[in-house]
């Protein structure tokens, strides 16, 4: 399918490939890859600003996200990724201020969310895939530039009496390093509270041995020993990595995607958009064929394997709708196909989870479902005859704010149909945790071990509406007489609520249980950053974000609230 997006439109396309990168240089040398930031000042995603000093906008981060994905799937031989700058004496100046000052509120928040998801992906590659990221900070790293380094396992800073790391958003812009900066320096790097306060209010940043003493970086290296020390450190990290030797990567071709005024379509995923009702109806299709017979065939199918192909499409759809359709606030999820085949693909991946490719596919599905979890939309699942909410696709219903399962069949449409059913599978019992570290079943039944055990005991059994409702796996199971009215009332009610209040409501109850660095980042982004971006102290005509670089001092409303 061709992409029918109008040329020159304002729609953002998340599909890119290394041959089209404008802002990054990716090179691979055996077990060590180098990802060098070299931002094209003239290639901003929107007009009206220049990307000076390796500052970035959403377009720069889209390329970074693509590179991180390709390194995992196309280059399994890579054990260490050196993240650095192709510029002399500047690493990254962070998010472009002109872009932030002119962007709409939703654009700012979506940008912050995507950049942090990308940094989470870097951390996930290090933690789960043995592909360790090393930040070689060869110049000043400010704001989001330092946050990029913070996502890496090891941070090296050049010691040249001028290069520093800084989180200057508060003193300079009246906003926060809220896409993860504050959380990572305290929760990940264990910087003391008083030092964190001093650091985040010091616009000029900190360099040299003080940066090491405060745990802001791991080491500082003189410029005359810089190149050789970076190579040595990368080699040491590569030796400790468990990434497989001799593995052959797969190719990730560009996704085939069609887009018309009110529809988006891929091979396995499609969405219809009703802008008047603020509604997107999303259908995920199950596999059209049986799973591969074994590991060799799994590798041979590569990006065509159903689970990987479907996940790539769902990932792109989530990003597209989130960015390009901010007023479409309700997403209705359906599935269609064979539950047995879905479970067959799940079983193939679970049995071969020690294989690098099978593991990467599972981790990618995990990250995509996490992206759905933190999306500020009402998510509703409809389980009807012909659905395949089983195993990995049941996670979609478990991620939903509410799920409705038809009890029985639509007697006037197809009385002979197989009743709507859901099936719990191994993928629901561990491999796909949420940001809180729990499965979606564990989060659903937090504090109710008996209900969780009952759901686990039902694994492998197709559960009709009555059984699923009894086990607490769906919200309600209306019969066909009540189905249309129940669904209509629910959707109309959702459309009538305040979207701001809904965002706060959903962000509060989706992450029950343990607090993690990840849940803190997205909770604080949803609350603090979302609120601060709307305040006149930051975004008003006399606010710090608007007046930055004009020579005029911002005017602050001094009331603390």
Q: What is the per-residue pLDDT for 286?
A: 98
CA distance 472 to 484: 22
Superfamily of domain 259-509: 2-enoyl-CoA Hydratase; Chain A, domain 1 (3.90.226.10)
Residue 422's region, left for phi above 0, alpha for psi from -120 to 50, else beta, is beta
Short-list 320, 504, 472, 294, CA closest to 398: 472
Tell me the pTM.
0.96
Q: What is the per-residue pLDDT for 431?
A: 98
- What is the rounded average pLDDT for all residues in the chain? 95
Q: 259 has which bridge partners?
A: 264
Lowest mean pLDDT among 65-74, 247-256, 278-287, 547-556: 547-556
DSSP 8-state secondary structure symbol assigned to residue 436: T
Q: What is the per-residue pLDDT for 282?
A: 98
Give, to the nearest 10 degrees, the angle between helix 356-373 and helix 339-351. 120
427 Cβ contact list (under 8 Å, min separation 6)? 346, 349, 350, 391, 392, 394, 395
Q: pLDDT tens for residues 137-160?
A: 999 999 999 999 999 999 999 999
Answer yes or no: is pLDDT of 528 > 90: no
Q: What is the per-residue pLDDT for 153?
A: 98
Answer yes or no: is pLDDT of 179 > 80: no
Answer yes or no: is pLDDT of 8 > 50: no
Considering the chain, tell me which residue range(s) the CATH 3.90.226.10 domain(s) occupy: 18-240, 259-509
H-only helix segments in 214-331: 226-240, 295-301, 306-324
Q: What is the per-residue pLDDT for 7?
A: 36
Dig out the tokens for 79 from the structure.
Answer: 């054990």
State the average pLDDT over residues 275-291: 97
State the average pLDDT over residues 60-65: 98
In 10 A of CB 488, how many CB atoms?
10
- Domain at 18-240: CATH architecture: Alpha-Beta Complex (3.90)
Q: pLDDT tens for residues 367-393?
A: 999 999 999 999 999 999 999 999 999
Question: Which CA distances in Å does 178 have to 161, 183, 532?
Answer: 28, 8, 10
**End-to-end Cα distance, the chain:** 52
CA distance 151 to 155: 9
Q: What is the per-residue pLDDT for 40?
A: 97
Q: What is the per-residue pLDDT for 261?
A: 87
State the average pLDDT over residues 453-479: 97
Pick the residue with more confidence: 102 or 34?
A: 34
Q: What is the per-residue pLDDT for 61?
A: 98
Dig out the tokens for 242 from the structure.
Answer: 């468990």
Q: What is the per-residue pLDDT for 560?
A: 85
Question: pLDDT class for 549, splitting at 50, 70, 90?
Answer: confident
Answer yes or no: is pLDDT of 287 > 80: yes
Q: What is the per-residue pLDDT for 147?
A: 97
CA distance 492 to 274: 13
Answer yes or no: is pLDDT of 204 > 60: yes
Q: pLDDT tens for residues 38-55?
A: 999 999 999 999 999 999
Q: How many residues does the chain have?
A: 561
Answer yes or no: is pLDDT of 449 > 80: yes
Short-list 469, 436, 437, 438, CA closest to 454: 469
SS3 assignment, position 331? strand
325 φ/ψ angles, rounded to the nearest 5 degrees: -130, 65
State the average pLDDT over residues 328-338: 98
Answer yes or no: is pLDDT of 531 > 90: no
Q: What is the per-residue pLDDT for 545?
A: 87
Question: pLDDT class for 228, splitting at 50, 70, 90?
Answer: very high
């Amino acid at each position: 399918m061709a992409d029918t997006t109008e040329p020159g439109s304002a729609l953002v396309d998340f599909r890119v490939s290394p041959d089209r990168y404008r802002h990054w240089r990716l090179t691979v040398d055996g077990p060590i890859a180098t990802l060098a930031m070299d931002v094209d000042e003239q290639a901003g995603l929107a007009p009206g600003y220049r990307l000076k000093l390796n500052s970035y906008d959403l377009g720069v981060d889209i390329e970074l996200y693509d590179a991180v994905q390709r390194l995992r799937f196309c280059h399994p031989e890579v054990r260490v990724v050196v993240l650095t700058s192709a510029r002399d004496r500047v690493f990254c100046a962070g998010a472009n201020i002109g872009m932030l000052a002119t962007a709409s509120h939703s654009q700012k928040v979506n940008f912050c969310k995507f950049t942090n998801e990308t940094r989470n992906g870097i951390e996930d590659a290090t933690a789960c895939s043995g592909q360790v990221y090393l930040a070689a900070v060869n110049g000043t790293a400010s704001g989001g530039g330092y946050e990029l380094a913070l996502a890496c396992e090891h941070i090296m800073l050049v010691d040249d009496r001028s290069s520093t790391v800084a989180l200057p958003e508060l003193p300079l812009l009246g906003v926060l390093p809220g896409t993860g900066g504050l959380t990572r320096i305290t929760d990940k790097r264990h910087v003391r509270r008083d030092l964190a306060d001093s650091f985040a209010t010091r616009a000029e940043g900190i360099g040299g041995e003080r940066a090491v003493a405060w745990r802001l970086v791991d080491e500082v290296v003189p410029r005359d020993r810089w190149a050789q020390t970076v190579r040595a450190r990368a080699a040491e990290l590569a030796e400790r990595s468990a990434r497989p030797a001799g593995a052959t990567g797969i190719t990730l071709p560009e996704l085939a995607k069609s887009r018309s005024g009110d529809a988006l379509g891929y091979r396995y995923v499609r969405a219809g958009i009703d802008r008047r009702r603020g509604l997107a109806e999303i259908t995920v299709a199950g596999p059209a064929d049986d799973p591969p017979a074994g590991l060799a065939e799994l590798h041979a199918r590569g990006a065509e394997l159903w689970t990987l192909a479907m996940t790539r499409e769902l990932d792109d759809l989530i990003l597209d709708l989130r960015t390009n359709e901010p007023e479409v606030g309700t997403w209705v999820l359906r599935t269609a196909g064979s539950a047995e085949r879905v479970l067959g693909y799940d079983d193939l991946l679970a049995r071969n989870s020690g294989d690098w490719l099978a593991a990467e596919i599972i981790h990618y599905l995990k990250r995509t479902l996490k992206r759905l979890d933190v999306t500020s939309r009402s998510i509703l699942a409809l389980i009807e005859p012909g659905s395949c909410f089983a195993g990995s696709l049941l996670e979609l219903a478990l991620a939903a704010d509410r799920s409705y399962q038809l009890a029985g069949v639509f007697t006037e449409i197809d009385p002979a149909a197989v009743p709507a059913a859901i099936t719990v599978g191994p993928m629901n019992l561990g491999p796909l945790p949420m940001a809180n570290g729990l499965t979606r079943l564990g989060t659903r039944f937090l504090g109710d071990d008996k209900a969780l055990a009952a759901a686990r005991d039902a694994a492998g059994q197709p559960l009709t509406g009555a059984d699923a409702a009894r086990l607490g796996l769906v919200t309600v199971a209306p019969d066909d007489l009540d189905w249309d009215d129940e669904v209509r009332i629910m959707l109309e009610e959702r459309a009538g609520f305040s979207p701001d209040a809904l965002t706060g409501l959903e962000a509060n109850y989706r992450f029950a249980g343990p607090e993690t660095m990840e849940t803190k980042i997205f909770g604080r982004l949803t609350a603090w950053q979302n609120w601060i971006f709307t305040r006149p102290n930051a975004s008003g005509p006399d606010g710090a974000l608007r007046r930055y670089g004009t020579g005029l001092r911002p005017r602050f409303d001094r009331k603390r609230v």
